[in-house]
């Protein structure tokens, strides 16, 4: 090897080592803070470990997973979580997209409206739950309006509903979905707004000159540019929706009955209701596997179609 | 002046050494330094707790660090116990008591001086709540039992002089109240005369289910803690649930929001319903005009200038048959923790006695303070004979009934089983599903009974 090349090679290796050394403290910290709990959690999930018998730590292999997968409560909570996710993700995207398209137009006070949009996002999950409870619970605004008009409601729709409030399983679950959407729309909206502002205006001008209608401009120009952000929003909101906990904790407490028993709530009850940490860790891993699978599916389905921007 | 690298390092090393030796010197200069006792509790009236502790320090001369555990007390305490965080005493709810003893987090005090001196004066249900497998672990912080409450003014408007004694009579009264279109002080029509507490809560909740069962003298478990329901004597547990289901869906006398509403006390004080079940100590609160629109309206209409009026009255819990009586009792207690510093056990025991037993003068100082200032229930029979306490109780409650109920109150039969937390997590949604008519009372109770047996077997296999 010529001396010049050898010297470059040595320099390159030294650079790599230097970079590694510089990153070592951060890597060690990440391994300690993330890697260690993840491994301990996996290890615990393979043991029978209930805090009411803290000295018993028996290796049971996959027994905790088998127990969960053969339990009706688990499949019920999976069903509730999937419903929650299936309703909240598309609605979040649609509403956020609509608002983003609106806020992308020039109008007076646009800045103020954009700032106001952020408020729901800034509200903590538990506060969000309590606020919606105030709205939808007994003597709340919705409850008062609906309870006073339930006969009219039944007459108009031809239904025979006894009550429409948080004590109704259907209402409680969908109220939780609504509260979740309300909180997550701003985040999605910001991502869409950023993406919309990145679309070159020349392309719109060209489309107008070619006589494309508003709908066609949206379908063939705006939407392809937004597919990538939509994918990101879809992945993040799916994960958030599937793991929703704080809202359920504050708004419904899992009830009425088991109508809002999402998977994270089930995990919480296993961990802190029953103190069954072996089982609760297994639950956590199952949630992780499901959300990871969903994310991979999204990426596979949407990545190529959303790669307009390269 | 320019400082080079070597100088900087030398000076830094010297400074560090100086600082370290200084700190060590300070530490060594105070060999008699006393570590205060660590006492943890949930944040109920922390200023009053601090006052009590200051009084203890003045009287006994032992320093105490009182630390509030805000948020979910059970979950945070579990984390603190697991982390072996230092604490000598803490509050314990009877719901968590067996769980914490089983986990080895609490210390019995049978071996400590005067440990038995309180036993004879405690009510039976309190004594039972605070002991486990023959060992005493707790002294009472406060305690109470569930009572039936009715709005005597609204009842009078419907033509009744007293609350129903049986569940059937109660249905009749409630239906009549609905027909009379009685209104709350803020002018709202009483749509549902009865509000019950069936909101899910992992650590607590559903006391009303137990209270209604005990009101009808239902036994739910046998001595081995096998569930007797749904085939208990005369299927009483099933009949009680059926009565609630009918009350919600057939007669529309029980508010369906009983499944979600947490603030029953506040709703009762506002006059939004006629009947409910409450803890006895809430009776003082709801009959205080400061808190209660019902009482304030009553007193204002009569130009009376007093703080309390017995408008929201106490009664025995309506039962399936006449002559049955009973209620649910519960206890909040002070316990010594297993992490208690061995050198501090006697000090901690003195604190425990001051807070949950007698002070240096032989008085139940703290229990009396809690009752006097906040109406909290006490666990000692002798206090029930105290003229000052009786006089205060007379302002808002029925002393005779309180004495009777104190004697017939029972703790949840399976509360001290190791599988109670499992049961607690499972039965609440199942009962709610019964109340929502998603399953029949018999099927629902059958499912709960089956699961109890499974929990029992699981725990037996764990040894």
Bridge-based pairing of strands B37-41 and B89-93 is: parallel
Determine the Cα–Cα distance for residues B357 and B372; give it in Å rounded to an integer.
Answer: 16
Decide if A138 and B432 are in contact by the 8 Å CB cutoff.
Answer: no
Cβ-based contacts of B83 with chain A (< 8 Å): none
Chains A–B, number of C-beta pairs less than 8 Å apart: 96
Separation in Å, CA A307 to CA A276, B107, B225, B344: 45, 64, 64, 68
- At B22 the pLDDT is 54
Determine the Cα–Cα distance for residues B41 and B68; give it in Å rounded to an integer.
Answer: 5
- At A51 the pLDDT is 84
Q: What is the pLDDT of residues B10-19, one digit of tens each?
A: 665 666 555 5
Determine the Cα–Cα distance for residues A192 and A187; give it in Å rounded to an integer.
Answer: 9
For residue B422, the chain A residue with the least C-alpha distance is A274
Average pLDDT value over all residues in chain A: 88
Cβ-based contacts of A258 with chain B (< 8 Å): 429, 432-433
Is any Cβ of chain A less than 8 angstroms from the Cβ of B308? no
Nearest to A167 among B259, B421, B428 (CB): B259
User: CB-based burial of residue B375 (10 Å sphere; 0-12 exposed, 13-18 middle, 19+ buried)?
Assistant: buried
Q: Within 13 Å and on the Cβ side, how many CA atoms surround B433?
A: 20
3-state secondary structure chain A: CCHHHHHHHHHHHHHHHHHHHHHHHHHHHHHHHHHHHHHHHHHHHCEECECCCCCCCEECCCHHHHHHHCCHHHHHHHHHHHHHHHHHHHHHHHHHHHHHHHHCCCCCCHHHHHHHHCHHHHCCHHHHHHHHHHHHCCCCHHHHHHHHCHHHHHHHHCCCCCCCCCCCHHHHHHHHHHHHHHHHHHHHHHHHHHHHHCCCHHHHHHHHHCCCCHHHHHHHHHHHHHHHHHHHHHHHHHHHHHCCCHHHHHHCCCCCCCCCCCHHHHHHHHHHHCCEHHHHHHHHHHHHHHHHHHHHHHHHHHCCCCHHHC
Domains for chain A: give ranges and CATH numbers: 1-45 (no CATH), 62-309 (1.10.3720.10)
Is any Cβ of chain A less than 8 angstroms from the Cβ of B202? yes
Q: Is the pLDDT of residue B374 over 50?
A: yes
- At A143 the pLDDT is 73
Please, which pLDDT band fits residue B77 given cuts at 50, 70 and 90?
very high
**Local mean pLDDT, 10-residue blocks, chain A (310 residues):** 77 88 92 92 94 86 95 94 96 96 89 89 86 82 73 76 79 92 94 93 90 90 90 91 91 90 94 91 94 86 56
CATH of domain B37-140+332-377: 3.40.190.10
- Tell whether omega for the bond before B87 is within 30 degrees of 0, i.e. cis: no
For residue A253, the chain B residue with the least C-alpha distance is B200
For residue B420, the chain A residue with the least C-alpha distance is A274
Is any Cβ of chain A less than 8 angstroms from the Cβ of B293? no
Residues 40-99 of B with CB under 8 A from A: 72, 74-75, 78, 82, 99
- For CATH 3.40.190.10, the residue range(s) in chain B are 37-140+332-377, 145-327+413-462
Which residue, among B237, B273, B277, B283, has the nearest Cα to B441 in the 3D structure? B237
Q: Give the gap in angstroms from C-alpha A172 to the nearest C-alpha of chain B.
A: 10
Q: What is the pLDDT of residues B202-235, one digit of tens each?
A: 666 689 999 999 999 999 999 999 999 999 989 9
- At A309 the pLDDT is 46
Q: What is the pLDDT of residues B147-197, one digit of tens each?
A: 999 999 999 999 999 999 999 999 999 999 999 989 988 888 898 999 999
Mark out chain A residues that contact chain B at CB-CB < 8 A.
48, 50-56, 137-139, 147, 162-163, 165-169, 172, 252-258, 261, 268-269, 272-275
CATH of domain B145-327+413-462: 3.40.190.10
Q: What is the pLDDT of residues A231-256, one digit of tens each?
A: 889 989 999 999 999 999 888 888 89
For residue A272, the chain B residue with the least C-alpha distance is B75
For B307, phi then psi, to 5°, come to -80, -30
Query: B337 CB contacts (<8 Å, ≥6 apart)?
Result: B81, B87, B88, B89, B90, B105, B106, B107
Determine the Cα–Cα distance for residues A209 and B397; give it in Å rounded to an integer.
Answer: 84
Report the predicted TM-score, pTM, of the whole model to 2 decimal places.
0.85
- At B3 the pLDDT is 58
Q: What is the pLDDT of residues B88-116, one digit of tens each?
A: 999 999 999 998 998 899 999 999 988 88
For residue A48, the chain B residue with the least C-alpha distance is B462
Q: Give the gap in angstroms from C-alpha B100 to the nearest C-alpha of chain A.
A: 7
- At B18 the pLDDT is 59
């Amino acid at each position: 090897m010529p001396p010049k090349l050898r010297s470059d090679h040595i320099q390159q290796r030294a650079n790599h080592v230097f970079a590694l050394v510089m990153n070592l403290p951060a890597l060690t910290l990440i391994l300690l803070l993330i890697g260690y709990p993840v491994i301990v959690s996996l290890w615990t999930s393979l043991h029978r470990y209930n805090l009411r018998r803290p000295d018993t730590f028996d290796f049971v292999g996959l027994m905790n997973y088998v127990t969960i997968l053969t339990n009706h409560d688990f499949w019920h909570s999976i069903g509730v979580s999937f419903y929650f996710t299936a309703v909240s993700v598309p609605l979040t995207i649609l509403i956020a997209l609509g608002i983003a398209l609106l806020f992308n137009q020039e109008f007076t006070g646009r800045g103020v409206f954009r700032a106001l949009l952020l408020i729901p996002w800034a509200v903590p999950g538990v506060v969000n739950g309590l606020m919606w409870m105030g709205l939808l619970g007994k003597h709340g605004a919705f409850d008062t309006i609906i309870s006073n008009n339930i006969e009219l409601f039944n007459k108009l729709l031809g239904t025979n509903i006894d009550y429409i409030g948080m004590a109704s399983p259907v209402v409680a679950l969908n109220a939780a979905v609504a509260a979740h959407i309300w909180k997550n729309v701003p985040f999605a909206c910001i991502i869409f707004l950023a993406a919309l502002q990145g679309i070159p205006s020349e392309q719109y001008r060209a489309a107008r000159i070619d006589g494309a209608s508003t709908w066609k401009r949206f379908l063939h120009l705006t939407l392809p540019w937004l597919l990538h952000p939509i994918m990101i929003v879809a992945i993040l909101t799916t994960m958030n929706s599937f793991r929703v906990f704080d809202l359920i904790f504050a708004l419904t407490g899992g009830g009425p009955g088991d109508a809002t028993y999402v998977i994270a709530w089930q995990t919480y009850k296993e961990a802190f209701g029953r103190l069954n940490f072996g089982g609760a860790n297994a639950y956590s891993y199952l949630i992780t596997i499901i959300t990871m699978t969903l994310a991979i599916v999204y990426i596979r389905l949407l990545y190529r179609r959303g790669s307009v921007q390269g | 002046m320019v400082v080079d690298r070597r100088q900087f390092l030398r000076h830094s090393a010297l400074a560090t050494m100086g600082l370290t030796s200084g700190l060590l010197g300070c530490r060594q200069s105070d060999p008699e330094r006393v570590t205060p006792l660590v006492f943890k509790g949930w944040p109920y009236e922390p200023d009053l707790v601090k006052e009590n502790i200051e009084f203890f320090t003045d009287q006994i001369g032992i320093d105490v660090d009182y630390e509030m555990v805000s948020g979910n007390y059970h979950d945070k305490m579990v984390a603190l116990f697991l982390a072996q965080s230092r604490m000598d005493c803490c509050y314990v709810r009877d719901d968590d008591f067996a769980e914490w003893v089983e986990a080895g987090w609490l210390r019995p005090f049978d071996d400590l001086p005067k440990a038995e001196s309180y036993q004879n004066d405690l009510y039976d249900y309190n004594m039972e709540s605070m002991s486990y497998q023959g060992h005493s672990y707790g002294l009472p912080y406060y305690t109470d039992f569930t009572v039936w409450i009715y709005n005597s003014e609204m009842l009078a408007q419907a033509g009744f002089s007293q609350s129903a004694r049986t569940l059937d009579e109660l249905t009749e009264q409630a239906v009549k109240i609905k027909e009379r279109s009685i209104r709350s002080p803020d002018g709202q029509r009483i749509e549902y005369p009865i509000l019950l507490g069936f909101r899910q809560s992992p650590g607590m909740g559903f006391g009303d289910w137990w209270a209604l069962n005990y009101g009808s003298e239902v036994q739910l478990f046998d001595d081995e803690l096998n569930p007797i329901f749904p085939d208990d004597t005369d299927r009483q547990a099933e009949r009680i649930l059926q009565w609630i289901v009918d009350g919600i869906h057939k007669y529309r006398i029980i508010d369906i929001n009983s499944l979600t509403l947490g603030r029953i006390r506040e709703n009762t004080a506002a006059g939004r319903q006629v009947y409910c079940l409450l803890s006895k100590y809430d009776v003082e609160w709801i009959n205080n005009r400061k808190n209660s629109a019902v009482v304030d309206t009553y007193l204002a209409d009569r130009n009376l200038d007093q703080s309390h009026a017995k408008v929201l009255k106490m009664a025995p819990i309506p039962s399936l048959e006449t002559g049955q009586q009973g209620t649910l009792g519960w206890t909040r207690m002070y316990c010594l923790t297993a992490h208690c510093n061995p050198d501090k056990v006697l000090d901690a025991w003195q604190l425990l006695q001051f807070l949950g037993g007698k002070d240096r003068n032989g008085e139940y100082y703290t229990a009396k303070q809690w009752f006097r200032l906040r109406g909290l229930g006490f666990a000692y029979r002798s206090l029930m004979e105290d003229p000052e306490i009786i006089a205060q109780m007379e302002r808002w409650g029925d002393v005779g009934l309180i004495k009777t109920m104190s004697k017939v109150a029972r703790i949840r039969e399976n509360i001290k089983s190791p599988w109670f937390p499992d049961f607690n997590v499972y039965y609440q949604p199942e009962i709610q599903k019964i109340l929502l008519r998603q399953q029949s009372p018999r099927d629902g109770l059958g499912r709960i009974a089956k699961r109890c047996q499974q929990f029992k077997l699981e725990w037996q296999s764990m040894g």
